[in-house]
Structure 1
Amino acid sequence: MISTLRNAWKIPDLRKRMLFTLAMLFIFRLGANIPAPFIDKKLIANLFNTDSGSVLELFNLMSGGAFKRFTIFALGVYPYITSSIIFQLLTIAIPSLERLAKEGEAGRKKIAQYTRYGTVVFALIQAVGLTLGLFRNALTNNTFLGKFTVILVLTAGTAFLMWLGEQITDKGIGNGISLIIFAGIVTKIPQDIYTVSTLYVTGGISIIALILFVALLLAVVTGVVGIQEGQRRIPVQYAKRVVGRKMYGGQSTHIPLKVLMAGVIPVIFSTSILQFLPTLTMFWPNSGFANFVTEYFTIRGTVGIWIYSLLNFILILGFTYFYTMIQFNPVEYSNNLKQYGGFIPGIRPGKPTSEFLSKVLNRITFIGAVALALIATIPLLVNTQSGITLSFSGTSLLIVVGVALETVKQIEAQMQMRHYKGFLK
């Protein structure tokens, strides 16, 4: 990875893209420290020290601490993720959107536009919930203009982050939204290291517990790299054909079916869905509904940690299959093979090929989905049961490692496109 980054830096175009990405992430971190107006930050900090505030720690983690400090980027990119999930599901359910998705680049741009509109709507709803609900006592200006200003600033902050992510994707390196989440999580690492060190020095945890916890984190990193890099190579043979005096085809290649085509997207989607009910409690804080949700549907509840973990496991399985089916269509791939004279040895072209690809894809996707769900869930349970309260574990570790791998792969792909031989090993 270090070698790839060093060699990419030597290429002027890639260096420009990398610098642009770093500049955009710097702007994100800068905005994450600009406070929203008319808010008493001390009251919000006190709220996070109570049980009700702990429910919102995941929002704070994904926003890089902006949520707890209630800055202009307090909502983060969660409204965008929610909007993306909904429109991807609607693409399958609504025929008109399905036709748009199949129209190529023009159709995808139209769906992306709808997703932006949805992001603003969800950001507005969440901003209203925070301003008039959970954090209403923290308002220093209770006039209509004061409330409207706070809601407008929070909504505009999310819209700006969405634009920032799209700029990174278009002009930088990697997926912009994923890198913004990545940057937010990474900023919590120094604080977590300090927390663990303090716990060890004060006797809060034993040396054995600390070693086991670090070993688990290393195992999670190894597991993520393993399932991200694992693939099943299906051999493909192209038939020979004579055109004039020249012979074409006859070469052998393979179809690389990745064990985890969906990457860390299912984890992000699952986390967003599971935060829906806690988000609703922002409208009715300290109510019976809020207490019920906290106890049974968040990791802070005695029963909730197990329900949350089970739902997280199931949702990751479902989203892994869903996202894999979007990325790889066995029928379409089979037709393309047949059109160009390719076939899988021992499998007839056409429907038998698509059925074979579907069978193999389902098997390896199941392995990848279960592994991904376990890697996301087990550290969460260990984290809550061991007494080591860290923000950087489980889901966040998955996202960080996954985004880092995907970004390096995109850099390698950019280098290959430019035909710089000798850089990749």
Structure 2
Amino acid sequence: MLTTLKNAFKVKEIKNRILFTLMILVVVRLGAQLPIPGVSRDVFAAWFEAQTGGAFNFFDQMTGGAFTQMSVFALNITPYITSSIIMQLMTIAIPKLEEMQKDGEDGRKKIREYTRYVTIALAVIEGLAMGIGLYRGGNLMHNNVLDIIMVTAALVAGASLVMWLGEQITEKGIGNGISIILLINIISTIPSDFKLLYDKFLSGKNIVKAGIAGIIILAIILFIVVFVVYLQDGERRIPVQYSKKVVGRKMVGGSTSSIPLKVNTAGVIPIIFASSIMSLPGIILGFIGKTPGGIPGHILAALSSSNWCKPSQPIYSIGLLIYILLVVFFAYFYTSITFNPMEIANNMKKQGGFIPGIRPGKPTVEYLTSILNYVIFIGAIGLCIIAVIPIFFNGYFGANVSFGGTSLIIIAGVVLETIKQIESQMLVRHYTGFLSD
């Protein structure tokens, strides 16, 4: 990876793209420090600390701490991510959007335009909900309707600007802009998490205990990172043979190819969906300002990841089982709407391709479905392992850090994809230079 970056800086065009990306990221981090007028950060920080654990932690991590800072970038790229997921699902459900998706670059541009509109709509809804929540809690300067409008406008403007900055990175920088911004947001929270680990397990301990604790922490982190990279790169290749055919006077075809099925087909989407569903009741009740008691209160506590795996409250770990089931369900659900075995089989048949030992048509569809189900299950189990390990240590040992399996999957996925894009651009540049000579 370091060799790739070193070589990339030798190519002027790629170097300029990397520097442009870094400049945009500096703007994003500066925006995360700009306070919204009329909102007391200290009061909001105290309110945030009073909330029940993990409901807002996941949201704050995705914004790089901008949420707890209550900055103009408090919503950050979360409306855009939600909008992209909604549009991706709608593309499968609505035939017109599906046709638009297949209609080349023009169709994709139209879908991106719709995604922006949905992003703004979501930002307005979320910003208004936050403004009303702050109003109900008495956290606004004058605590009137104008303050609510001001907060909403600032949050919508911030979300819109972050979306635009992400698109500028995609167009003029390196990698997918939104993914890069999400990556830098997550990385920005890691130093404070390591400080928490140091204060909890190393500070004040004798050198032997501190050394053992440090080695265990590093070993766990290293294991998760290696496992994430292995899961992200893992794939099952299905061989495809293309029969020979006569075109004019030439015999063409007869080549061998393969269909790559990624082990983690759905990426981090299942964890994001599951985390969002589990934290949604807590977020809504937090802004409304209600803390239910009795059975509803226990249910809410079970849905919060901060209460899982605690020896003193084992009953709340039922929520972890629900979380795992949701991750597995969304892994199957998301893959089923993005990978169509019947469409793959039909395309293979039209091009004269077949899987060795499998007859074309329905047998191929059944074979692809069975392999896909197996691969999805392995990927879902891998996702659950990555997600549960940090949750276990947070609950059992009190290591209250914000980064977990979701963060590491995002970091590994974005870094690997960006490095591949840099390598591909360097390769294209090399061939262009070779041809021009």
Question: What TM-score do the two structures reach when normalised by structure 1?
Answer: 0.89
Matched, 1:318 2:338: no
User: Deviation of residue 203 (structure 1)?
Assistant: 4.1
Cα distance in 2 for partners of 1:12, 1:248 equals 41
User: Deviation of residue 393 (structure 1)?
Assistant: 2.5
Q: Map residues 178-197 of structure 1 onto 2, 5 A cutoff.
A: 178-197=179-198
Cα distance in 1 for partners of 2:138, 2:342 equals 57
Cα distance in 2 for partners of 1:316, 1:53 equals 20
Q: Map residues 117-128 of structure 1 onto 2, 5 A cutoff.
A: 117-128=117-128
Q: Map residues 48-67 of structure 1 onto 2, 5 A cutoff.
A: 48-52=48-52, 55-67=55-67
Q: Which residue number corresponds to residue 40 of structure 1? A: 40
User: Deviation of residue 223 (structure 1)?
Assistant: 1.0
Q: Which residue number corresponds to residue 227 of structure 1? A: 231
Query: Deviations along 1:230-262, whole A, 9 cap, x unmatched?
Result: 122222222223444433222323222221232
Distance 1:134 1:396, change over 3 A: farther
Q: Which residue number corresponds to residue 297 of structure 1? A: 303
Q: Which residue number corresponds to residue 376 of structure 1? A: 387
User: Deviation of residue 54 (structure 1)?
Assistant: 6.1
Q: Which residue number corresponds to residue 84 of structure 1? A: 84
Amino acid at match of 1:175: N
Which secondary structure state, in structure 1, belongs to the residue aligned with residue 305 of structure 2? Answer: coil
Amino acid at match of 1:272: S
User: Deviation of residue 367 (structure 1)?
Assistant: 0.6
**Is the 2:53–2:306 contact (alpha carbons within 8 Å) kept by the matching residues of 1?**
no
Cα distance in 2 for partners of 1:177, 1:272 equals 19
Q: Which residue number corresponds to residue 310 of structure 2? A: none
User: Deviation of residue 67 (structure 1)?
Assistant: 0.8
User: Deviation of residue 305 (structure 1)?
Assistant: 5.6
Compare 368-377 and 9-18 and name the one that shifted more. 9-18
Q: Which residue number corresponds to residue 169 of structure 2? A: 168
User: Which residue among 183, 197, 202 is the counterpart of 2:204?
Assistant: 202
Report how many aligned residue pairs link the two structures. Answer: 421
Query: Deviations along 1:3-26, whole A, 9 cap, x unmatched?
Result: 222223333333232222222211
Q: Which residue number corresponds to residue 257 of structure 2? A: 253
Query: Deviations along 1:33-52, whole A, 9 cap, x unmatched?
Result: 11110111111222233344
Which secondary structure state, in structure 2, belongs to the residue aligned with residue 73 of structure 1? Answer: coil
User: Which residue among 301, 309, 312 is the counterpart of 2:320?
Assistant: 309
Amino acid at match of 2:304: T
Compare 201-210 and 231-240 and name the one that shifted more. 201-210
Cα distance in 2 for partners of 1:23, 1:305 equals 45
User: Which residue among 362, 367, 375 is the counterpart of 1:356?
Assistant: 367
**Is the 1:376–1:395 contact (alpha carbons within 8 Å) kept by the matching residues of 2?**
yes
Compare 262-271 and 368-377 and name the one that shifted more. 262-271
Amino acid at match of 1:33: Q
Cα distance in 2 for partners of 1:272, 1:174 equals 26
**Is the 2:123–2:159 contact (alpha carbons within 8 Å) kept by the matching residues of 1?**
yes
Q: Which residue number corresponds to residue 211 of structure 1? A: 215
Cα distance in 2 for partners of 1:47, 1:198 equals 24
**Is the 2:232–2:264 contact (alpha carbons within 8 Å) kept by the matching residues of 1?**
yes
Which secondary structure state, in structure 2, belongs to the residue aligned with residue 256 of structure 1? Answer: strand
Compare 33-42 and 200-209 and name the one that shifted more. 200-209
Cα distance in 2 for partners of 1:419, 1:269 equals 41
Compare 98-107 and 220-229 and name the one that shifted more. 98-107
Cα distance in 2 for partners of 1:147, 1:354 equals 54
Q: Map residues 398-417 of structure 1 onto 2, 5 A cutoff.
A: 398-417=409-428
**Is the 1:127–1:155 contact (alpha carbons within 8 Å) kept by the matching residues of 2?**
yes
Matched, 1:395 2:388: no
User: Deviation of residue 326 (structure 1)?
Assistant: 4.2
Cα distance in 1 for partners of 2:346, 2:77 equals 38
Unaligned runs of 5+ in 1: none
Distance 1:394 1:228, change over 3 A: closer
User: Deviation of residue 207 (structure 1)?
Assistant: 4.9
Q: Which residue number corresponds to residue 237 of structure 1? A: 241
- Tell me the percent identity: 47
Query: Deviations along 1:194-217, whole A, 9 cap, x unmatched?
Result: 222222113498654443333222
Which secondary structure state, in structure 2, belongs to the residue aligned with residue 234 of structure 1? Answer: strand
Which secondary structure state, in structure 2, belongs to the residue aligned with residue 275 of structure 1? Answer: helix
Distance 1:54 1:256, change over 3 A: closer
Compare 38-47 and 239-248 and name the one that shifted more. 239-248
Q: Which residue number corresponds to residue 271 of structure 1? A: 275
Query: Deviations along 1:51-101, whole A, 9 cap, x unmatched?
Result: 447642222211111111111001222222223333333333444444444
Which secondary structure state, in structure 1, belongs to the residue aligned with residue 327 of structure 2? Answer: helix
Cα distance in 2 for partners of 1:244, 1:102 equals 30
Amino acid at match of 2:264: L
Distance 1:248 1:413, change over 3 A: same
Give the root-mean-square deviation of aligned CA atoms: 2.8
**Is the 1:299–1:305 contact (alpha carbons within 8 Å) kept by the matching residues of 2?**
no
Distance 1:217 1:75, change over 3 A: same
Amino acid at match of 1:81: I
Query: Deviations along 1:175-228, whole A, 9 cap, x unmatched?
Result: 222221211110122222222222211349865444333322211111111111
Which secondary structure state, in structure 2, belongs to the residue aligned with residue 7 of structure 1? Answer: helix
Q: Which residue number corresponds to residue 288 of structure 2? A: 284
